[in-house]
Structure 1
Amino acid sequence: MTTAIKKPSRFQFLWLLALIAATVYILSHKTQPAYHSIEGKIFGTLYSITYQYNDDLKPDIEQELNRLDASLSPFNKESIITKVNNNEGVKTDTFFQKVFRCSMEISAKTDGAFDITVAPLVNAWNFGFKKETWPTQKMIDSLLQITGYRKVIMRNDSVIKQDPRIMITCSAVAKGYASDIIGELLDKKGIKNYMINIGGEVVVKGKNPKQEFWHIGINKPIDDSLAVNQEIQTILKLTDAGIATSGNYRNYYYKDGQKYTHTIDPHTGYPVTHNLLSATVIAQDCMIADALATAFMVMGFDKAKAFANTHPNIAVYLIYSDPNKELRNWYTENMENYLTDKN
């Protein structure tokens, strides 16, 4: 004797399919890792990192940051860059080599507006890792003789200087590079969503905890040496990119009624005095964005604008003062993809 097997009805089939889909949805959302946020200090500045992952990665991140500090920090007496500046004949590591080569490329592209040999001039104006007496014209002329990116080369993993008095600073690119390196670390962990902020130089990937693109604010360039004023000029929404801002509204001082900013023009040896107040650059990696933002602050508004218009692989937002000292902005056409309000 045989028993007929009853075929499921269309309603039962659809109900079962819906139940499976709902189960998969619930399980997948239940197993989504939480977002973690950590903070700390590197290169004499603060960092904050938010990422979506099951584990606490602060020990891994700080281990990588310590390696970077041991390579690129002029405030670390045992770092590679300190030994290079002290002419100790040290072999450089891959961190230093990548930053050095990128710096040379950006220097060439910007006609020397970006220049890592500007360290003695930065120190002379009391913005660097060594404090000096007030510079005279004779001192500036002397320091210009040992300034210029073409006066240093990399050979067999060692830095060769034309003059032993030449000193290097990576402060205008190290934070951006550090953000890139931590991004690579998180990528290796399979992390899809993160935001890395090291001293204001930012790398973002994926989405924020609200499942939106990351929101990054550009500060209004109001003189504020204590970083108390956090008024926002505009907010950008972006992902999978590096972004850096350079400006003269935080690191400056007054002497005899004259404002001196930390951006030193390697061609003149003096702090810049033009009307460009802030330069923000979005690029594929933060090291390049960091270097170009600094270069633009040396160039001034007109030259920075001309450079930005001929390099469509970057997006640029400039804030400057008009003849009436009113704040104005200019941005490249592709920056419109990131602006939340086009003011």
Structure 2
Amino acid sequence: MKRINLHILSLVIIFLHFAACNSGSQKKEYSYYQDQGEIFATGYHIKYAYGRSLKKEIVAELERFDLSLNPFRDNSIITKVNRNEPVNPDSLFIKVFRKSMEVSRKSGGKFDITVSPLINAWGFGFQNMDSITPEIIDSLKMFVGFEKISMNNNGQINKTDPRVTLNTSAIAKGYACDVIGNLLERYGVKDYMVEIGGEITARGANEKGECWRIGVDKPIDDATGMQHELQVILSLCNKSMATSGNYRNYYVKDGKKYAHTIDPHTGYPSQQDILGATVIADDCMTADAYATAFMAMGKQKSIELAKEIPGLYYYFIYEKEDGTFGIEYSEGFEQFFHPFDSM
């Protein structure tokens, strides 16, 4: 396979002129507020139309989310589950767990929130690649697998092996977007855009009464990661979007490109043809989970699965056999395209 330095598939929020896609005009006294900060070691940007700033409420809701699902927080619910301590999971934990199990089943286990031991073994940027052995992988696989953990009707977790641990990072950022969107709607906000770590939920319209515009970066042969060129501009009204990609997070050894996505079945980095998967769905948790799953499944199996999920659209950038890039997207995805020449 041809070696290519790939630029990370990123999301750029841009507010330029586009044909209106208005959800109903806001009251004139409303202003568009923009809040930003950090959660899960990544940034968030939230823009919304309201009569006052809701930053205090947003921060409080993100804190509640963090206390439930941050596996690196000592007193979080997920940490207590991982340590096999008595804990009563909250509604946030229960919802993301059940959605994770659903996607795991539909993807044949390619999406798996128990895969952390394998990810940790490989190390950040695959720094431990030279020390990984088949024996290490086999030993870790003994307590990796979504079928090794379950939840009863009361929300209590059951494990087949106490060493099983959870990490919901492949779905949590998307769900956090939904949670903040729900918070804004409880205050009567109709027009907003929530972006957390590149995952997005958008409702209504921006301050110009237009659809929210999102740019997806093109893969570029650039080792510095400084070059940016848009692959496509998308327009979102009342939809959510998530993107997963291997543009920086891969390692080349002996001519093989090892993706940042670990295959839970093999224990090794996935070597599939998809380089970037952008998924649009009604909610961001669904989009986030399937963007991750598709990276591990490969293009053909992902296309087949996507057909079974109502309201889900995909846009894949993949590597052809000759090392060049190909594009494939689902039927109906063209409704989200925005032409470059009207910028």
Q: What per-residue deviation string (whole Å, max 9, x for no partner) do you get for residues 29-66 of structure 1?
A: 98331111111000111000111112111111011001
Amino acid at match of 1:334: G
Aligned to 2:57: 60
Rounded to whole Å, the distance in 1 between the matches of 2:256 and 2:92 is 38
Name 1:146's counterpart in structure 2.
Answer: 143
Looking at structure 1, the residues matched to 97 and 247 of structure 2 have their Cα atoms a distance apart, in angstroms, of 27
Alpha-carbon deviation of 1:167?
Answer: 1.0
Alpha-carbon distance change, 223 to 120 in structure 1, aligned in 2, over 3 angstroms = farther
Is 2:78 aligned against 1:81? yes
Q: CA RMSD in A?
A: 2.4
Equivalent pairs counted in the alignment come to 314
**For residues 157 and 143 of structure 1, do their structure 2 counterparts lie closer, same or farther at Cα, with a shift above 3 Å needed?**
same
CA shift for structure 1 position 318: 0.5
Equivalent residue, structure 2, for 1:126? 123
Where does residue 214 of structure 1 map in the other structure? 212
Gap regions ≥5 residues in structure 1: 1-27
| Map of 1:177 onto structure 2 | 175
Does the residue aligned with 1:41 lie in a helix, a strand or coil? strand
Distance 1:125 1:30, change over 3 A: closer
Counterpart-to-counterpart distance in 1, 2:129 and 2:321:
34
Measured at CA, do residues 53 and 120 of structure 1 come closer, stay the same or move farther in structure 2, by a change above 3 Å?
same
For residue 136 of structure 1, report the CA deviation from its aligned partner. Answer: 1.4
Report the equivalent of 1:46. 43
Aligned to 2:159: 161
CA–CA separation in structure 2 for the residues paired with 1:80 and 1:275: 36
Task: State whether residues 124 and 133 of structure 1, in contact with CA within 8 Å, keep that contact through their aligned partners in structure 2.
Answer: no
Could you list the runs of 5+ residues in structure 2 that have no partner in the other structure? 1-24
Q: Tell me the equivalent position of 1:5.
A: none
Alignment of 1:299-310 (within 5 A): 299-310=297-308
Q: Distance in 2 between matches of 1:66 and 1:227?
A: 32
> Partner amino acid for 1:36?
Y
Find the aligned partners of 2:94 and 2:243 in 1 and give their Cα distance: 24
Match of 1:69 among 66, 70, 75: 66
> 5 Å matches for 1:1-343?
31-127=28-124, 134-155=131-152, 156-222=154-220, 228-253=226-251, 259-341=257-339
Task: Give the TM-score, by structure 2 length.
Answer: 0.85
Q: Greater CA deviation, 299-308 or 94-103?
A: 299-308
Q: Percent identity?
A: 51
Q: Distance in 2 between matches of 1:152 and 1:86?
A: 14
The 8 Å contact of residues 38 and 58 in structure 1, kept in 2 or not, is answered as yes
Give the greater-gyration-radius structure (CA): 1
- For residues 230 and 219 of structure 1, what CA distance do their matches in structure 2 show? 6
User: In structure 1, what is the Cα distance between the partners aligned to 2:71 and 2:252?
Assistant: 25
CA contact (8 A) 2:26 2:49 kept: no
Aligned-partner Cα distance in 2 for 1:328–1:272: 19
In structure 2, how many angstroms separate the alpha carbons of the residues matched to 1:134 and 1:260? 15
SS at match of 2:99: helix
Residues 290, 162 of structure 1: alpha-carbon distance in 2 compared, 3 angstrom cutoff = same
Q: Which stretch shifts more, 66-75 or 213-222?
A: 213-222
Instruction: Tell me the amino acid that sits aligned with residue 184 of structure 1.
Output: N
Give the TM-score taking structure 1 as reference length.
0.85
SS in 1 for 2:334: helix
Higher relative contact order (CA closer than 8 Å, sequence separation 6+): 2
Alignment match, 1:22: none
- Secondary structure at the aligned position of 1:306 is classed as helix
| Partners of 1:252 and 1:55 in 2: CA distance | 44
Per-residue deviation at 1:133?
Answer: 8.8
Provide, for residues 298-332 of structure 1, a one-character-per-residue CA deviation record: whole Å limited to 9, x for no partner. Answer: 00111112222343421110110112211111001
* Alignment check: 8 A CA contact 2:31 2:52 kept: no
**1:164-190 deviation line (CA, Å, top 9, x unaligned):** 111111000000000000000000111
CA drift of 1:135 comes to: 2.3
Q: Please give the per-residue CA displacement for 1:215-243, whole angstroms capped at 9, x wherever unaligned.
A: 11122234778764432210111111111
